[in-house]
Amino acid sequence: MLLDLLRMTRGSVAFSVSGKYPERFINITSRHRVRIWNVHRSEDRFTACMYRSDYRKIRPLARGAGVRLKVIEKNGLPTMLYRYRERVGVLIGACAFVLSIFVMSLFIWSIDITGLKTLSRSQMNDVLQEHGLYVGAFKPSLDAQRLARDVMIERHEIGWMAVNLTGSYASVEIKEEAVPPEVDDIYSPCNVKAKSDGVIMRIEAAEGETVVMEGSGVIEGQLIVSGIRTDEQGTHRLVHADARVMASTVRQASFSMSEQMKLLRPNGEGTQRKILDILGLQLPYRVGSVDSPNAVSNTDTEVPAPLGITLPIGVVTDYVSALSEEAITLNDHSAEELLKREAQLYEAFALQNCEVESREYHLKHNGGVYTLYATYTCVEDIAYTDPIGTDENTDLTPYVAPTEKKDL
C-alpha cells in the first residue's frame, strides 16, 4: 500500500521496448539503478513501468542499447496536475481538500469507551469532558497518560484506565475497582429483635441465647435472641447475637384510582424529522409537524462504524406520533385489572426480599373512586440487631465475672 502511494505521488510511466536486443536495455537500467516493475515479454518486445523522473534519464541509454521506447500510459499525481494546470478551481479545491483533511486530523472526532459496569456512558463522557477529552478536542493539547491518572484520582471507583489516541479516534479502556464487601461488626454486643409482627417458623441462631420458641407469635421490637449469655457457673457475659429468624408475616396495601379517566391514544397521524449530524453540527434536512397538542416522540440515531470505529457523522431520525385525548369510564373489571398491575409493581419492589405464599384482593367502589385492598401472606427474615448500651454510664456489673482476691 505504501509503495503504491509512493508511485502515485512521484508519478509513473508505462512504456514498451522494441528493437534487436531489448534484453540489453534491462541490464543497462539495472547497472544505472533505475527501478522498473511490471515487466512483461511479448514476441519481440516487452512492456514495463518506471518512475516518471527516471524515464527522462533512460532515453540516452536506450539509444546506446539500440532499442526504441514508446510511452503507453502516464499515471500519478504529476500527470494529473499537468492535465488540470489550466483549471485553477480544481487545483484549489484539491489543495483545500488535502488541507481540510490535515486540519481535521488534529482533532478528536470519535470516542469509544469500554469496560463500564456501574458507571453509565453519559457519566463517563461528562468526566472525560471535564478533563479535556470530548468530540472536537484539539489532539496536540491532550496528554493521554495524565488524563487517565487525573480521572482515576477523581473517580475512586475506577481501578485502571488507559487512553489511546489513534488519528482522530480516542479509545478509553476502563476497569472498575471491585467494591470491598461490608464487614459485619461481630464484636459489639447486641440483641436480635423482631422488625415486624409474625409467627416464628424457624430460628437459625449463630450466637446468643434464644428466648422465643418456634411457633410462637411475636410483635415488632420483641426480643428473640438475647446478647447476654450465662455459663454453667452463672456468670453473665455480653456477646454479639446473630440469628436468622424466618417468620410468617402479613402485609397489607391499598391502591386507588378514579372511575373517570383520560387516556392519550395514537390517532394515526405521524411524521418523521431527520437531522444530519456532522462533527457535532446538526443540520435538519427533513422537517414535519403534527396537528395535535399532544404527541409522543421516538428518536433513532444511525452512526456508521466501519471496522468498529465510530465516525463523527450520523443521521438522527425523530418519529413523532400524534395523540388524541379520550375520556373513559371504568367498570369493575377494568378497574380491578389496572389496580392489580399497580399491586404487582408494589409486590416486585416493596416485597422483593419476601417469599409471597398467598395474596388476596378486595375491590371497593365508593364516591367515584375504586380502591383495591391487597393482603399478602409472606415468609421473611424479621431479625434485626439492637445494640446493647456500653457507654460509660451503663452499669455492666451484672455481666462481669467476679475476680478472686489474691493474698500478697
Per-residue pLDDT band at 408 (split at 50, 70, 90): very low
- Give the pLDDT confidence score for residue 351 in this predicted structure: 93
Residue 346 sits in the same domain as residue 369: yes
Q: What is the pLDDT of residues 280-300, one digit of tens each?
A: 678 888 887 877 888 888 888
- Give the pLDDT confidence score for residue 254 in this predicted structure: 96
The domain total for the chain is: 4
Per-residue pLDDT band at 391 (split at 50, 70, 90): low
Q: Measuring CA to CA, how many Å separate 212 from each of 24, 201, 217, 367, 388?
A: 113, 11, 9, 47, 19
Q: What is the pLDDT of residues 154-201, one digit of tens each?
A: 888 888 999 998 888 889 999 987 766 666 677 788 999 999 999 999
- DSSP-derived secondary structure for 59-128: HHHHHHHTEEEEEEEEESHHHHHHHTTT-HHHHHHHHHHHHHHHHHTTB--EEEEE--SSS-HHHHHHHH
Residue 316 lies in a domain: yes
Residue 100 lies in a domain: no
Q: What is the pLDDT of residues 222-273, one digit of tens each?
A: 999 998 888 777 788 888 999 999 999 999 999 999 999 888 888 888 888 8
Question: Strand 158-166's sheet: what is its strand order?
Answer: 110-114, 169-176, 158-166
Residue 397 lies in a domain: no
The one-letter amino acid at 143 = D
Residues 10, 33: Cα–Cα separation, whole Å: 17
Residue 341 sits in the same domain as residue 323: no
Residues 207, 210: Cα–Cα separation, whole Å: 9
Give me the mean pLDDT over the 11-21 stretch.
82
Whether residue 405 is predicted with pLDDT greater than 50 in this model: the reply is no
Residue 321 sits in the same domain as residue 378: no
Residue 121 lies in a domain: yes
Q: What is the pLDDT of residues 341-386, one digit of tens each?
A: 999 999 999 999 999 999 999 999 998 999 999 999 999 999 999 9
Q: What is the pLDDT of residues 296-314, one digit of tens each?
A: 888 888 877 766 666 677 8
Residue 104 lies in a domain: no
Residue 123 lies in a domain: yes
Range of the domain at 149: 110-176
116 vs 81: which has the higher pLDDT: 116
Residues 284, 385: Cα–Cα separation, whole Å: 62
CATH number at residue 7: 3.30.70.260
Residue 75 sits in the same domain as residue 26: yes
For residue 244, count other CB atoms closer than 10 A to its CB. Answer: 14
